[in-house]
C-alpha cells in the first residue's frame, strides 16, 4: 500500500495535534450567521403553511368578533419591542453595557405584555377553535406565541449573561443572534399572522 | 446559536473512573430520569390547569402531549446537552464527555462518533422493520389462514412503513453523511458539533414513542396518517405524530448543519467544481430536509391540534378539509423520496468511479442532475393525489412536472453508465452493491412512469404495483447504496477488513431475493391486489405465496452480513485495514483507519479534481508536511 497516507492507526503523528479537533474555525462568525439564517428560513415555512391553510379553509371570511383595535395594539407593541431590541445591539456595539441592559429589559417587558394581550384575546374571542376561521386564528396565534415564548427565554438568558459581563463591544454574537431571532418572530406577526387574520 | 467549543475540547479530559459497562449507561439513565421528571411536570401542570378551569383533570391525549413537550428537553438536557452546552447559557464552564468507548453512548460531538451512532441505530431499526415485513409476508401467504387479525395487521403494516421511512431518511445521510462529509471536504468536524449531537439524541425518543404507541392501541392509518381516520383512531396516533414531529426536527437541524458545513468548512482549494459527488448528493438533500420537512411537521401538528385542541382542520362537518392534509403532507413527502435517494446516488457514483478506475463521467452534468432534482422537487407532490378528488386543472401540470424529473435523474444515471463504459471494473463487494443499485433503480424508475401518468395511475393507484415500485427505488436504490457504503467505508470506520467472500454471498442472496420478491409484487398489483388490506382474492394466493417465500429468502440474505460484521468486529484475528485499501484518491483515504479525532495530521490543501484516475500529474490534495495524494496511489491495487 501507499506510504503517503498518515501514520497507520493514528500513532505518534496523530497525538501531536490530537487536541485541536474543535479549535474555532476561522470563518466562525459567518458560520454562525448562516446557521441562524437557515434556521429562520426553515421556521418561516411553518408560518406560511398555516397562512395557506387559513385561506384554504376559510377563504377571506372574517367573523365580526375579531378585535381589530386589540390586534393593532399588539402590533404596535411588538414593533416597538423589535426597535428596542435593535437598540440593545447598537448599545453593546459601542460598549454601553447599562444602555444595552435597559433596552433589552424593555424589549422583554413588551414581549410579556404581548403574551398577556394574546391571552386576553383568546379569553374574550366570540368564536371557538371549531370553525374554519377559529381553527386558523387559534393555531396561527398559538404557533406565534410559542415562538415568542422561546424568544423570551433566550432574551432572558442573554440578559442574565449581560449582567454578568459576558459580552463586550467586540464579542456579542449571543446578543445579535437572540435579537435576530426575536426580530424574525416579530416579523412573522407583522407580515404573516396579523395581515392574514385581521386585515384580509 | 453559537456553537464553538473551547479549543482543546473533548480530547483533553481524563477519565476519572475506569470504564465499566454500568458507567457507560449513566448519561442515558440520567436522560431517562430527567425525561420522567419532565413528563410528570408537564402532564401534572396540565391537569392542575384543567382542574382550575373546572374541567376533567385528566385528558389522555392532551396530558400526554404536554408531558412529552417537557419530557423531550428533559431527556436531551439529561443525556448530556446540559453538561456540554446548557451550562454555558448560564455563564458556567461546560464539562467534557468520556473519550473511551463510552463516548458512543454519550452526548459526543465528534462527527465520526455521531456517524457510527446513526449507523448502528438505523441498522437496528432496519432489522426491526425487516422483521415486521416478515410478519406481513407471513400473513399474506394465505388469504384465509392468517396469523394476524385485521387490526393487528394494520398496526404491523403501519409500524413497518414508518420505521423503514425513518431508516430511509436518516441511515445514509445521518450515518455516512456525518462520518464522511467532513472528511471528504478536508474539515475537522461539522460546523455545529453540539447541534449535531443534539440531532442524533432526538432519535431515541422517536423509536421509543413509536414502540410505546402499541400500548395505546397503536395506529392503523399507515405511515401517511391521513385524516379523517388519523383524527378518530386509537390514541397511539398521538404518539406517532409526536414521534414524527421530533424526527422532523432532527432532520431539519441535521440538514442545516450539513449546509453550513459544506458552504463554509471546505479545505482551501476545495472549490464547488472539485467537491466529491457524495457531498453534492448530501448538499442537495440537505436543502430539502431544511425547507420541506416543516410541511410534514405542520400537517402532523394540525392532526394533533384537531385531536387535543378542538380545531377543525380536517373535520369536514365543521368546515374542515381532509384534502388539505394530503396537499401539505405530500408537499414534504414527495421531496422526501429525494432525501432517501440522492445521498444514495452520490454514494453509488462515488463507489463506481473509484472501482472503475476512471474519472467520473460528466461530473458537471451529474451535479446539474442533483440540483435539477432539488429545483423540481417542490412542484410534483400532487401525483400522489390523482384519484383523491383534487381540482382537475392540476392533473396535467403535475403529470408534466413529474415526468420532467426523469431528466435530471437521467443525467445522474448516464454519469454512472458513462463511468462504467470501458472502465477496468474492480468487482469487490462495494462495487457489486453499487451496480445492483443502478440495475434496480432502472426498474424502479421505469415503473414510476406508469404512476406519474394520470391514465395509468387511475388503475394502478393503491395496488401492489405502487408497493413494488417504491420498494424498488428505496430498497433497490437507497438500501443497496447503503450496503455499498458500508462495505466501502467499513475498513475506514473500523480499521479492520471484512471478509470479501461473505460480503459477496450477502450481495448475491440479497440481489436475487430482492428482485424475485418485488417483481412478483408488480404482477399481483397489475392483477388488482390492493395495498394495505389484510387479505386478498383467493385466486392471487399462488403469486402471494411465491412473494412470501422469496421475501423470507430476502430476510435470510442478511445473515451473512451480520455474521461478517460479527466475526470481523469481535474476533481478535480480523485482518487490520490499511489507510487506503482501495487505493482511492479522495481525502478520507489519506488518513489513518480509523482517522484521529482531528481527522488529518495536517490540514489538507486541495490541488485538483478528486476523480482523475489515470490523468498524468493530477494531484487531488496535499497534506502539508506529509505529501501529495492522488498520483502515488496509482497502480497499487
Ligand atoms: Cu412522489
pLDDT at B354: 95
| Burial class, A37, CB count within 10 angstroms (exposed 0-12 / middle 13-18 / buried 19+) | middle
How much is the CA Rg of chain A, to the nearest whole Å?
23
Give the pLDDT band (50/70/90) at residue B1: very low
Q: Please indicate whether, in this complex, the C-beta atoms of A14 and B628 are within 8 angstroms of each other.
A: no
Which residues have beta carbons under 5 A from ligand 1 (an ion)?
A: B 334
Residues of A in contact with B91 (CB under 8 A): 160-161, 164, 166
Angle between helices A132-163 and A28-58 (to 10 degrees): 160
Give dist(CA B280, CA B262) in Å, integer: 9
For residues B106-121, average pLDDT: 96
pLDDT at A182: 97
Query: Is any Cβ of chain B less than 8 angstroms from the Cβ of A9?
Result: yes
Surface of A (55-84) touching B: CB under 8 A: 56-58
Query: Is any Cβ of chain B less than 8 angstroms from the Cβ of A123?
Result: no
Residue B545 has pLDDT above 80, yes or no: yes
Residues of A in contact with B595 (CB under 8 A): 10
Residues of A in contact with B260 (CB under 8 A): 31, 34-35, 38
| Burial class, B260, CB count within 10 angstroms (exposed 0-12 / middle 13-18 / buried 19+) | buried
Residues of B in contact with A35 (CB under 8 A): 1, 3, 191-192, 195, 256-257, 260
CATH 3.20.20.10 correct for A27-199: no
Residue B537 has pLDDT above 50, yes or no: yes
**Chain A interface, mutation test: which of B264, B491, B576, B635, most A Cβ atoms within 10 Å?**
B264
User: Which residue is closest to A28 within chain B, CA to CA?
Assistant: B4
From B10, B327, B596, residue closest to A14, measured CB to CB? B596
For residues B262-282, average pLDDT: 96
pLDDT in tens, B331-383: 999 999 999 999 999 999 999 999 999 999 999 999 999 999 999 999 999 99
pLDDT at A1: 30
pLDDT at B627: 65
**Chain A interface, mutation test: which of B231, B256, B303, most A Cβ atoms within 10 Å?**
B256
Q: How far is the CA of A163 from the centre of ligand 1 (A)?
A: 53
Residue B19 has pLDDT above 90, yes or no: no
From B9, B593, B598, residue closest to A17, measured CB to CB? B598
pLDDT at B108: 94
Instruction: Quote the ipTM score.
Output: 0.92
Give dist(CA B508, CA B557) in Å, integer: 8
Q: How far is the CA of B213 from the centre of ligand 1 (A)?
A: 27
Residues of A in contact with B583 (CB under 8 A): 1-2
Q: Domains of chain B (ranges plus CATH)?
A: 23-93+101-107 (no CATH), 108-570 (1.20.210.10)
Give dist(CA B254, CA B246) in Å, integer: 12
Cis before B594? omega within 30: yes
Distances (CA, A) of B170 to B2, B79, B285: 25, 21, 11
Q: Is residue B292 a contact partner of residue B210, using CB atoms and an 8 Å limit?
A: no
Give dist(CA B492, CA A6) in Å, integer: 13
pLDDT at B483: 97
| Residue ranges covered by each domain of chain A | 27-199
Q: How far is the CA of B262 from the centre of ligand 1 (A)?
A: 27
| Bridge partners (DSSP) listed for residue B627 | B623
User: Which residue is closest to A22 within chain B, CA to CA?
Assistant: B7
Here the cell at position B356 is: 472503475
From B189, B315, B581, residue closest to A22, measured CB to CB? B189
User: Which residue is closest to B598 within chain A, CA to CA?
Assistant: A21
pLDDT at A14: 36
Amino acid at each position: 500500500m501507499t506510504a503517503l497516507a498518515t501514520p497507520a492507526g493514528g500513532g505518534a503523528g496523530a497525538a501531536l495535534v490530537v487536541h485541536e479537533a474543535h479549535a474555532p474555525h476561522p470563518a466562525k462568525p459567518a458560520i454562525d450567521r448562516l446557521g441562524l439564517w437557515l434556521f429562520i428560513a426553515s421556521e418561516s415555512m411553518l408560518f406560511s403553511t398555516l397562512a395557506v391553510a387559513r385561506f384554504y379553509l376559510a377563504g377571506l371570511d372574517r367573523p365580526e368578533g375579531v378585535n381589530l383595535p386589540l390586534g393593532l395594539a399588539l402590533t404596535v407593541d411588538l414593533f416597538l419591542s423589535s426597535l428596542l431590541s435593535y437598540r440593545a445591539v447598537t448599545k453593546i456595539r459601542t460598549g454601553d453595557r447599562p444602555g444595552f441592559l435597559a433596552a433589552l429589559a424593555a424589549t422583554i417587558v413588551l414581549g410579556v405584555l404581548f403574551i398577556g394581550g394574546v391571552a386576553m384575546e383568546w379569553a374574550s374571542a366570540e368564536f371557538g377553535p371549531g370553525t374554519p376561521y377559529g381553527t386558523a386564528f387559534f393555531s396561527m396565534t398559538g404557533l406565534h406565541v410559542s415562538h415568542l415564548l422561546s424568544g423570551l427565554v433566550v432574551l432572558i438568558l442573554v440578559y442574565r449573561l449581560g449582567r454578568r459581563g459576558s459580552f463586550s463591544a467586540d464579542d456579542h454574537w449571543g446578543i445579535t443572534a437572540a435579537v435576530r431571532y426575536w426580530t424574525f418572530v416579530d416579523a412573522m406577526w407583522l407580515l404573516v399572522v396579523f395581515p392574514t387574520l385581521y386585515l384580509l | 446559536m453559537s456553537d464553538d467549543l473551547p479549543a482543546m475540547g473533548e480530547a483533553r479530559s481524563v477519565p476519572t473512573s475506569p470504564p465499566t459497562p454500568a458507567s457507560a449507561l449513566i448519561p442515558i439513565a440520567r436522560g431517562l430520569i430527567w425525561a420522567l421528571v419532565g413528563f410528570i411536570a408537564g402532564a401534572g401542570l396540565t391537569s392542575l390547569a384543567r382542574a382550575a378551569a373546572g374541567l376533567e383533570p385528566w385528558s389522555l391525549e392532551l396530558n400526554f402531549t404536554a408531558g412529552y413537550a417537557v419530557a423531550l428537553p428533559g431527556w436531551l438536557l439529561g443525556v448530556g446537552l446540559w453538561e456540554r452546552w446548557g451550562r454555558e447559557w448560564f455563564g458556567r464552564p461546560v464539562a467534557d464527555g468520556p473519550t473511551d468507548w463510552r463516548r458512543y453512548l454519550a452526548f459526543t460531538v465528534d462527527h465520526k462518533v455521531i456517524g457510527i451512532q446513526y449507523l448502528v441505530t438505523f441498522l437496528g431499526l432496519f432489522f426491526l422493520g425487516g422483521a415486521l415485513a416478515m410478519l406481513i409476508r407471513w400473513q399474506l401467504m394465505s388469504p384465509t389462514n392468517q396469523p394476524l387479525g385485521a387490526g393487528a395487521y394494520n398496526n404491523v403494516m403501519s409500524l413497518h412503513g414508518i420505521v423503514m421511512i425513518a431508516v430511509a431518511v436518516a441511515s445514509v445521510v445521518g450515518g455516512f453523511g456525518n462520518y464522511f462529509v467532513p472528511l471528504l471536504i478536508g474539515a475537522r468536524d461539522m460546523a455545529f458539533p453540539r447541534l449535531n449531537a443534539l440531532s442524533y439524541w432526538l432519535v431515541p425518543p422517536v423509536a421509543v414513542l413509536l414502540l410505546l404507541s402499541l400500548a395505546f392501541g397503536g395506529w392503523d392509518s399507515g405511515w401517511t396518517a391521513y385524516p379523517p381516520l388519523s383524527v378518530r383512531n386509537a390514541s397511539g396516533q398521538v404518539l406517532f405524530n409526536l414521534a414524527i414531529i421530533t424526527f422532523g426536527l432532527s432532520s431539519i437541524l441535521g440538514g442545516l448543519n450539513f449546509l453550513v458545513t459544506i458552504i463554509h468548512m471546505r479545505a482551501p482549494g476545495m472549490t464547488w467544481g472539485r467537491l466529491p459527488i457524495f457531498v453534492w448528493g448530501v448538499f442537495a438533500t440537505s436543502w430539502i430536509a431544511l425547507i420541506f420537512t416543516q410541511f410534514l411537521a405542520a400537517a402532523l401538528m394540525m392532526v394533533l391540534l384537531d385531536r387535543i385542541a378542538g380545531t377543525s382542520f380536517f373535520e369536514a362537518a365543521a368546515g374542515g378539509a381532509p384534502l388539505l392534509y394530503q396537499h401539505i403532507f405530500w408537499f414534504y413527502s414527495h421531496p422526501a423520496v429525494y432525501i432517501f435517494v440522492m445521498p444514495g446516488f452520490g454514494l453509488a457514483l462515488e463507489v463506481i468511479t473509484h472501482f472503475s478506475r476512471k474519472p467520473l463521467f460528466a461530473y458537471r452534468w451529474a451535479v446539474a442532475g442533483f440540483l435539477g432534482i432539488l429545483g423540481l422537487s417542490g412542484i410534483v407532490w400532487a401525483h400522489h393525489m390523482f384519484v383523491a378528488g383534487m381540482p382537475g386543472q392540476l392533473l396535467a401540470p403535475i403529470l408534466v412536472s413529474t415526468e420532467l424529473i426523469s431528466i435530471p435523474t437521467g443525467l445522474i444515471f448516464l454519469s454512472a453508465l458513462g463511468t462504467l463504459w470501458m472502465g477496468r471494473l474492480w468487482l469487490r463487494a462495494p462495487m457489486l452493491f453499487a451496480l445492483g443499485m443502478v440495475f434496480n433503480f432502472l426498474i424502479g424508475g421505469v415503473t414510476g412512469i406508469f404512476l406519474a401518468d394520470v391514465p395509468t395511475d387511475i388503475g394502478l393507484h393503491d395496488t401492489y404495483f405502487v408497493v413494488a415500485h417504491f420498494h424498488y427505488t428505496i430498497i433497490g436504490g437507497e438500501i443497496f447504496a447503503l450496503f455499498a457504503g458500508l462495505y466501502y467505508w467499513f475498513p475506514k470506520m473500523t480499521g479492520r477488513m471484512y471478509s470479501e467472500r461473505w460480503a459477496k454471498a450477502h450481495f448475491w442472496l440479497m440481489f436475487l431475493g430482492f428482485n424475485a420478491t418485488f417483481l412478483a409484487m408488480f404482477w399481483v398489483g397489475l392483477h388488482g391486489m390492493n395495498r394495505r388490506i389484510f387479505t386478498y382474492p383467493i385466486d392471487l394466493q399462488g403469486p402471494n405465496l411465491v412473494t412470501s417465500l422469496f421475501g423470507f429468502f430476502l430476510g435470510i440474505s442478511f445473515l451473512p452480513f451480520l455474521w461478517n460484521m460479527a466475526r470481523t468486529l469481535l474476533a481478535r484475528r480480523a485482518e487490520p485495514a490499511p489507510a487506503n485499501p482501495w487505493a482511492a484518491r479522495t481525502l478520507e483515504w489519506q488518513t489513518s483507519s480509523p482517522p484521529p479525532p482531528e481527522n488529518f495530521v495536517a490540514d489538507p490543501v486541495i490541488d485538483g479534481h478528486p476523480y482523475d484516475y489515470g490523468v498524468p500529474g493530477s494531484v487531488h490534495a496535499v497534506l502539508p508536511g506529509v505529501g501529495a495524494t492522488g498520483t502515488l496511489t496509482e497502480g497499487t491495487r
